[in-house]
Structure 1
């Protein structure tokens, strides 16, 4: 999740759905804590599924059930993080493959069409794990050079987390499991 881009701050009551990537923490934590406002506000290493989501006051048992229903059609999956990518002022790790993440985002956004990813600011949603935001290119290059020897690493995605901003920090609210991957053959 990123801040709202306008005020440079998160808003109390905002929520987001994310895929946490605990395997990334040893690789990116130090940089994220220094260079990513989300990390400083309590968001773990993650790939965003949908942000902003609903206001926290609008999330009840029926919304939880609807999220679980949507996610029940998406199996757990594995990712690799092999390299970095950039947006203006931002450095991120690129998940491979990104198709399962795109499908999660599309499914949730289709169920809640009034909540497009990133408020509809981008024509295409690119799954990514943010490391640094609002930084000069030389800072991003230095971080990328420092990351290179620690790549690649793999991660297993078996759930989606609902996070909410309480005005001070992001808080984990609940986790929605993804069904285990089925094997064929």
Structure 2
């Protein structure tokens, strides 16, 4: 959910994520060492949309609208067994990734003023970051360390709304897929 220039330290910033608790025992040691986002309270996750609406816009009506948008999607299983990379970043790629993309597209259709990652990237690439801000040799080592611990499967049944309080990310609400 973070990138170097995303301004994630600003209080009131929000994001919608699928928290992947099954990833925790697999990627925790790697993330603790190699993903600075861990220190701000970000759990292992696949980002649905970041940045999202400012916290000041999250009234009861808006939360109900988020619930309705997310609730139009059915729960699904995702397998994490493959790696991918962005510059300086190692991630696990979910399969299938189409349901994650569909969630992002549905939220953006409702709130077009919130393009994924502020419009920084042209393509939606669902991913679970395990290391970022690292050189290729470090990423190669992390991939080698994790390879034997894959695959794992998760059941995606909800999307979590995370809010930044100025120093840490905290869960604000969870919206069920139905």
Per the TM superposition, whether the score is higher than 0.5 is: yes
| CA drift at 1:48 | 0.2
CA RMSD of superposed structures (Å): 1.1
Runs of 4+ with deviation above 4 angstroms: none
- Give 1:20-99 correspondences, 5 Å limit: 20-99=19-98
Q: TM-score, normalised by structure 2?
A: 0.97
Q: Indicate the residue corresponding to 1:145 in structure 2.
A: 144
SS in 1 for 2:148: helix
Q: TM-score, normalised by structure 1?
A: 0.93
What are the superposed Cα offsets for residues 53-104 of structure 1, whole Å, 9 maximum, x if unpaired? 0111111101101101111210000000011100000000000000000000
5+ residue gaps in structure 2? none
Alpha-carbon distance in structure 2 between the residues aligned to 1:80 and 1:6:
30
Alpha-carbon distance in structure 1 between the residues aligned to 2:124 and 2:31:
21
| CA drift at 1:8 | 6.8
- Give 1:148-167 correspondences, 5 Å limit: 148-167=147-166
| CA drift at 1:7 | 7.2
Q: Indicate the residue corresponding to 1:132 in structure 2.
A: 131
Q: Indicate the residue corresponding to 2:108 in structure 1.
A: 109
What are the superposed Cα offsets for residues 142-180 of structure 1, whole Å, 9 maximum, x if unpaired? 00000000001100000000000001110000100111x
Alpha-carbon distance in structure 2 between the residues aligned to 1:34 and 1:57:
33
Q: Indicate the residue corresponding to 1:183 in structure 2.
A: none
| CA drift at 1:10 | 2.3
**Which moves more between the two structures, 74-83 or 5-14?**
5-14
What are the superposed Cα offsets for residues 115-148 of structure 1, whole Å, 9 maximum, x if unpaired? 0000000000100000111100000000000000
C-alpha distance 53-7 of structure 1, shift in aligned 2 (>3 A): closer
